[in-house]
Structure 1
């Protein structure tokens, strides 16, 4: 009888700890791993990054230059279930595929006009000073993109080897899962 009470106490403590860790990972803070070379030279393949989820939890827009974690499935509405399934702890148990979670840099915010000419990025007619970019960008376009309300535009620092907003378009703010802290 005493053994059963002790086991119940232990199981209760483990359950509470599990729920707390999931809560923290979904709403407050989590670590994630960089997959690929799109953020070279700033971040490297397999590097661990720590992310504040508070901006996602409280629906705060990121700033220019912030490194953000996004859900690249911009054609799908995000739900609380997505947040739970993207939690690192739960994804260990569920063998979830996290290739839709990308790490990119914020280049444009709502209302910004973006252009890509002379191998540079122009925001609202001004060329961006981007010392973090790996090499000169090959991409150019005659098109202008105006970031709609409730969205951002993101790009990788390795512009010639990055799937980003040039491929998937504007990122809804609810698809910004967090900001890199360190």
Structure 2
């Protein structure tokens, strides 16, 4: 009985260590996620697996123009370490299909201080029309308003501009809501 208990304790310890390491890696270093929807067509497709570097979020880096990032769209609430832990895929293994989509995959279009305009189917950043060869189709959105991206925020948009809920609808994204940058896809 003592030998069995020792063996069982060893297995439990190994499983607990594996769980903790998986959690640490997924929260702070790299995490897989799945594309849900068509807002990033043709770059990313519905159901496609992507790998996200969590290092920008962990160390507070500002993403570069054109980076594909995952963001928490609940911009009116403060994020915490507990949110990062609860977002880990291990906690969603046995979850039914959650209809509340709060994590978006988008492209960084503007950073702090940038002036953005949307005219004639194009985005203008600081007066210059953006060259965006990755777009799915011409954008139908136009606005007479100019958007100034606040400090510690980014402005994100989907590549399928006509079918994307992005910063045009939810506003600029606080940097602490940028959860990581895409590093690979399957």
TM range (shorter): over 0.9
Contact kept in structure 2, 1:117 and 1:141, CA below 8 Å:
yes
6-15 or 97-106, larger mean C-alpha shift: 97-106
3-state SS, counterpart of residue 93 of structure 2 = helix
Partner of 2:180: 178
Partner of 2:91: 90
Contact kept in structure 2, 1:52 and 1:178, CA below 8 Å:
yes
Q: What is the CA-CA distance between 1:92 and the residue it aligns to?
A: 2.0
Partner of 2:61: 60
What RMSD in Å do the two structures reach over aligned CA positions? Answer: 1.2
Gaps of 5+ in 1: none
Contact kept in structure 2, 1:118 and 1:140, CA below 8 Å:
yes
Contact kept in structure 2, 1:28 and 1:54, CA below 8 Å:
yes
Q: Please give the per-residue CA displacement for 1:76-125, whole angstroms capped at 9, x wherever unaligned.
A: 11001100000011222566947201000000000000000011000000
Q: What is the CA-CA distance between 1:133 and the residue it aligns to?
A: 0.4
Partner of 1:105: 107
Describe how 1:65-144 pairs up with structure 2 within 5 A: 65-93=66-94, 97=98, 99-144=101-146
CA distance in 2, matches of 1:159, 1:103: 13
CA distance in 2, matches of 1:127, 1:118: 10
3-state SS, counterpart of residue 16 of structure 2 = helix
Aligned residues: 182
3-state SS, counterpart of residue 181 of structure 1 = strand
